[in-house]
Structure 1
Amino acid sequence: MDSRKWLAVFAALALTASAHARPGNDIADSPKQQSNEVISSKDVHVKPDESQDIKSTLATANTETTVVAATTSTEKVEETKNAEVTKPVNEQFPHAVLFGGTCGGSIISAKWILTAAHCTIFSSGRYVLAGTNKSDDDTGFERRVKRIILHPKFSVGPYWLDADHFDIKQVAADWDFLLAELEEPLPLDGKKIAAVDINDQSEVPEGLAVGYAGYGAEHHGDYMRHDMHGMDLEVQADSACQEALVQYEPKTMLCTKGRAPRYDSACNGDSGSGLVANGKLYGVASWVQDDAHRCFNGALVVFSRVSAVRDWIRQVTKI
């Protein structure tokens, strides 16, 4: 199922939850008010058997009130989660940009973008587009790039060779980072355009739910999409990538895989997109399992580990 269908499902769930429990003041408060009135009525005289009935009624009312309040609270949390999911993709990932028309990227300040160094193979990286879900309708904000700086240790595999002839499964890159300084600052508004915080912790917990947004192709060799898409992944143990991918280096790379039920992946054009969780940037999309031949759901997706170059980013950008 594609992202738009999932958004429709989540929107339907949000409406259902809303129909079952609007703000629960009337439901939750009424029994409490009745209970307080009975308890505080010292002048009311009842027979012994009536007193027992009242106590039983009060206990039942209090239990029901607790259950209703807890249910309402849970449904409100679900409504909040569903509302977050149904946001436009660029509002879920306000740091995400289109870089040079061929890659993704992340806003780390009003004037600096972090993306993948190998994106320069396919584009001169002359501009970025931010603050929009579409690359073809003249919305969003375009900014020219003033200069680009590649990480000094950047290297890439033999992308120029015939993958079939030389039995190349994936073309990996290492230290795959590029910083782009913009000629003019982006108008950060915290909603559609925002800078993302940079993670500086080397340890990233296995199982962490992460995601990225980009314009990459749906199938291998296709053109990039005009609509921004969001992808849901999960951090894997380094061993998962080391066993399957000979080029994987834990020091500079981060191993991920799509989460159920979609088992999202990445494809050509998603390179450079920022991997985020809880408002922090953990990685830069670099290469994918078997990417010399195909794009497929459930593939291992390798991101360049941002914490490995935190000092370099600080040195270049002063951020």
Structure 2
Amino acid sequence: MRSLGVIVLCSVLWLTAAHPKQDDSGRIVGGTEAAPGSAPYQVSLQGLFSHMCGGTIIDRQWVLTAAHCAILPPKLVQVLAGTNDLRSGGKRYGVERFFVHSRFNKPPFHNDIALVKLKTPLEFGEFVQAVEYSERQLPVNATVRATGWGKVSTSGSVPRMLQTINLRYVPYEECKRLLEDNPAVDLGHICTLTKEGEGVCNGDSGGPLVYEGKVVGVANFAVPCAQGFPDGFASVSYYHDWIRTTLANNS
């Protein structure tokens, strides 16, 4: 049985052991451009004004993201909110501190979730809004929505405009089977899969997976990219208590 390689999806950090198909259309694979204001909770985490990862606004001063996105000192990272266009509009906010799950990468790829505390509160409006984080598990075959500025391959470029795609939730046991019992997957993950040619890729990391108006997942990893295998997201319901406790103890 062959071993499937997975990549974490940050633009500046990736691990790969596969040979992805090359496609330079420059977006979430198989997605479309998101309408202005359709994902006001989506932000871009940026280092030196360059997109690294996505994130989700869950409070005026808090953003949910992936732990592997918190690789630079906070003083070198800014959060861009309020725009779908990486080159125009929105406002940048400084980062006060990253709160990374204490069990991140123990074992590898597990507990890949973090919170970002901003130096100043976000200015809410039509294009900047918080989204609730879900406590409930997803129903089988639920249609979920992913957004991000991710590439279509590890060698592609980051798109200028935010992309969106609808994906299908894949239950844990089915995900494990499809990924050939890859140890990257555990009960703390949500998996999605529609078909080959649709999914997330580098640069989508940390971004939201949304179901019925609530964030249910945080983009973590993929078999690069959209090759007909499930993508992995940190399960927000699984980490709900960690999120709630971290916010309560540090606000």
TM-score (normalizing by structure 1)? 0.62
Letter of the 1:98 partner, please give it: S
1:147 aligns with 2:97: yes
The answer to whether residue 231 in structure 2 is matched with residue 308 in structure 1 is: no
CA distance in 1, matches of 2:131, 2:200: 21
Task: Please name the residue that 1:281 is paired with.
Answer: 215
Select the structure with the greater relative contact order (CA < 8 A; seq sep ≥ 6). 2
Q: Please state whether the residue corresponding to 1:224 is helix, strand or coil.
A: coil
Larger Rg: 1
Partner Cα distance (1:89, 1:298) in 2: 27
Residue type of the partner of 2:156? D
**The residue matched to 1:89 in structure 2 has which SS?**
coil
State whether structure 2 residue 240 is matched by structure 1 residue 240: no
Give 1 or 2: higher helix fraction.
Answer: 1
Please say if residues 56 and 208 of structure 2, whose CA atoms lie closer than 8 Å, have aligned partners that are also in contact.
Answer: yes
SS of the residue corresponding to residue 243 of structure 1 reads helix
Question: How many positions carry a matched residue from both structures?
Answer: 216
Structure 2: stretches of 5+ with no match in the other structure: 1-24
The correspondence for 1:269, drawn from 203, 214, 217, is 203
- The structure 1 segments of at least 4 consecutive aligned residues displaced by more than 6 Å after TM superposition are none
Instruction: For structure 1, list consecutive stretches of 5 or more residues without a partner in the other structure.
Output: 8-85, 158-171
Deviation at 1:216, TM superposition (A): 0.9
- Kindly report the root-mean-square deviation, in angstroms, between the aligned alpha carbons of the 2 structures: 2.6
In 2, Cα distance between equivalents of 1:306 and 1:149: 15
The structure-2 alpha-carbon separation of the partners of 1:90 and 1:315, relative to structure 1 and needing over 3 Å to count, comes to farther
**Matching residue of 1:78:** none
The aligned amino acid for 2:70 is T
Equivalence for 1:115: 65
Measured in 1, the distance between the counterparts of 2:193 and 2:31 equals: 19
Instruction: Indicate conservation of the 8 Å contact 1:257/1:265, yes or no.
Output: yes
Any idea what the Cα deviations from partners look like across 1:5-55, whole Å, max 9, x if unmatched? 997xxxxxxxxxxxxxxxxxxxxxxxxxxxxxxxxxxxxxxxxxxxxxxxx
CA shift for structure 1 position 299: 3.2
Identity %: 30
Scaled by the length of structure 2, what TM-score is found? 0.78
Q: Are the equivalent residues in 2 in contact too, given 1:196–1:281 (CA < 8 A)?
A: yes
- Give 3-state SS (helix, strand or coil) of 2:37's partner: helix
- Return the offset for 1:156: 6.7
**Closer, same or farther in 2 for the Cα pair 1:310/1:91, shift >3 Å?**
same
Q: How far off its partner does 1:90 sit? A: 4.6
Q: Greater strand percent: which structure?
A: 2
User: For 2:170 and 2:191, how far apart are their aligned partners in 1?
Assistant: 5
